[in-house]
Structure 1
Amino acid sequence: MSEQRLLLVDGMAILFRAYFATSFGGSVRKTSAGVPVNAVHGFVRYFMDAINTFNPTHVVCCWDMGSTTFRTEQYDGYKANRPSAPEDLIPQFDLVKEVVASFDVPNIGIAGYEADDCIGTLAAALKDQAQIFVVTGDHDMLQLVDDRVSVAIMKKGIGNYMVYTPESLMEERQLTPVQIIDMKGLMGDTADNYPGVKGIGEKTAHKLIQEHGSIDGLLANLEAVSKTIRAKIEADLDMLHLSRELATIRCDVPVSAELEGCSWSYKRESVLLKFEELEFKSLVSLIG
């Protein structure tokens, strides 16, 4: 039997990317009834490209379910810098899940956790049964890379991916997947709005993790680092530990999927009906 290949899609990452790639000109694609569909239209193009690129036998799409998660409970500022979603994107959140469902692909998400956590959990649970490919724009996911899990970071334009394995991650960044978490703990993450250790940026964080292997190795060996860096770390110890925790993708959240339930095989008619309803004529050729 040939190898099973499971594609885990970071739905929100692709939907937002599709929205901003098609709305910068100021005009947003709408149906004749006036329903905005630009992000969903773009999502289908990215989604089908990922299918054609990674040729999966199974597919699951994971979603964020609202902005309140265990991370916002741990730290008020978490993602607090994010503007609210554009008005004409909001109705597309439900529409895109209907389109995914028309392909018979499970939509998975759970309140209190992020899509990353769902992806991490499913990857951990299913990697013994299938080779896993995660499609996302989010570099945090690189911590999930292992011999059975590849992370494909979407680059500009459709069809461009940087696919990370433990080897290519080491080659490009001289880091192991677990060191990605410790880097974030030290330098923080401006996109997710947690600070790490004040005054420690990416270069210093990288150097410290290279020299000491991990945050724990660094803390056990603080007398070996320069006085200034030591002072910064000692002043921000609590935030260092909290930032590391915020950066860690949880792989034990209460979601599950059986491999059999997510086979990539759809009924063309049900997809066509959905495309017709959303007036996606130009996309019909994508579904053969």
Structure 2
Amino acid sequence: MIQEENTNKLLLVDGMALLFRAFFANSYGGSVRRTSAGVPVNAIYGFVKYFMDAVQKFEPTHVVCCWDMGSTTFRTTQYEGYKANRPSAPEDLIPQFDLVKEVVESFGVPNVGLAGYEADDCIGTLAKRHSSEAHVYVLSGDHDLLQLVDDRITVVIMKKGQGNYAVYTPEFLHEERQLTPEQIICVKGLMGDTSDNYPGVKGIGEKTAYKLVQEHGSVSGILENLDRLSKTIRAKIEADIEMLHMSRDLATIRCDVPIEIEFTSCGWQVNRAQVMNKFEELEFKSLMALIS
């Protein structure tokens, strides 16, 4: 994880992952932080704390924040049930969606997103494209992003409590799960994802999915060796073969999204006065000490 001095480090932030985590961490007991004008800002407040903690920990030279741009994407076109189980955003969170982007802009950090794609796809595209000129750190709480891990891309998963991270390199991923990044997609294809609401193969859970992928290498390897599986497992896969392929495709992060950033435009150079003005507007007096 430690890079040589003067090596570029690009931090790609999964904006919605941080914002939702911050909202629920800062609205316990039904109390929501508001400005004197009554504008809810609890999620933004927590977002800034998470964001600054990661910047201090990983010391990036460049930073970009990626966002989902609405619930309709190519995945919902492909599978109507995709994320259909998600509840609407809490009422107090809605006005914070635009405001948090203003805060990100005040740090001089580009906000990136494209209608029809998820933030994960934007992150994947930028990570692969810029990993030749910087070591990339992806900050999120979403384990789907582990499929992006390679020698130049480290995925940082936020754990419970500010400042706690699981830092995934290819070595750590293999040590923890005995999987390669590509195999993460195969596991999701088999077991589905209750959070994203796609089923995978009915009757195959996490434990069996891991075992099958570890033994046969991939979904393709499993299908080539159906005759070696137990009758029960084979029957489940054969009965749900189309959904297996669809689930695997839904789980695959696209790394060819038509977005571009000028690498030099996302250098981490904070204009302290600009950030302070935004903090004053949102009445974040206690966060001002974070901006040195």
Q: What TM-score, normalized by structure 1, do the two folds share?
A: 0.99
Counterpart-to-counterpart distance in 2, 1:52 and 1:157: 16
The counterpart of 2:234, out of the listed 222, 230, 242, is 230
Which of 105, 110, 115 is the equivalent residue of 1:106?
110
Select the residue among 123, 130, 135 that pairs with 1:131: 135
Q: Secondary structure at the match of 2:30?
A: coil
Matched, 1:85 2:89: yes
Give, in angstroms, the shift of residue 144 of structure 1.
Answer: 0.2
Deviation at 1:72, TM superposition (A): 0.4
Aligned to 2:184: 180
Letter in 2 for 1:200: I
Supply the AA of the counterpart residue of 1:141. L
SS in 2 for 1:249: coil
Aligned match for 2:65, one of 39, 57, 61: 61
Alpha-carbon separation, structure 1, partners of 2:170 and 2:260: 25
Equivalent runs, 1:38-53 vs 2, <5 Å: 38-53=42-57
Q: CA RMSD in A?
A: 0.6
Offset of residue 244 of structure 1? 0.1
In structure 1, distance between residues paired with 2:263 and 2:149: 20
Distance (whole Å) between structure 1 residues aligned to residue 274 and residue 91 of structure 2: 28
Tell me what 2:223 maps to.
219
Counterpart in the other structure of 1:264: 268
Partner residue in 1 for 2:28: 24
How far 1:266 sits from its partner (Å)?
1.6
Q: Distance in 2 between the 1:67 and 1:124 partners?
A: 24
1:155: which partner in 2?
159
Structure 2 match to 1:278: 282
Secondary structure of the 1:60 match is strand
Identity of aligned residues (%): 74
Looking at structure 2, the residues matched to 273 and 219 of structure 1 have their Cα atoms a distance apart, in angstroms, of 59
Query: Helix, strand or coil: the match of 1:209?
Result: helix
Q: How far, CA to CA, are the matches of 2:137 and 2:234 in structure 1?
A: 39
Q: SS of the counterpart of 1:25?
A: helix
Separation (CA, whole Å) in 1 of partners of 2:32 and 2:6? 43
1:235-250 matched pairs, under 5 angstroms: 235-250=239-254
SS in 2 for 1:31: coil
2:204 partner letter = I
1:15 pairs with 2:15: no
Aligned length: 288
TM-score, normalised to structure 2, is 0.98
Distance 1:277 1:112 in 2: 33
The one of 202, 207, 212 equivalent to 1:208 is: 212
SS of structure 1 residue aligned to 2:29? coil
CA deviations 1:154-210 (Å, max 9, x no partner) are: 001110000000000000000000000000000000010000000000010011001
Unaligned runs of 5+ in 2: none
Question: Partners of 1:135 and 1:267 in 2: how far apart?
Answer: 23
Deviation at 1:256, TM superposition (A): 1.3
Aligned to 2:80: 76
Candidates 99, 113, 120, aligned match of 2:124 = 120
Q: Which runs of 4+ in 1 moved over 4 A?
A: none
- Report the CA distance between 1:19 and its aligned residue: 0.1
Distance in 2 between residues matched to 1:141 and 1:260, nearest whole Å:
25
Q: For structure 1, list consecutive stretches of 5 or more residues without a partner in the other structure.
A: none
Equivalent AA in structure 1 for residue 23 of structure 2 = Y
In structure 1, the residue matched to 2:147 is 143
What is the letter of the counterpart of residue 73 of structure 2? T
Question: How far apart are 1:262 and its partner, in Å?
Answer: 0.2
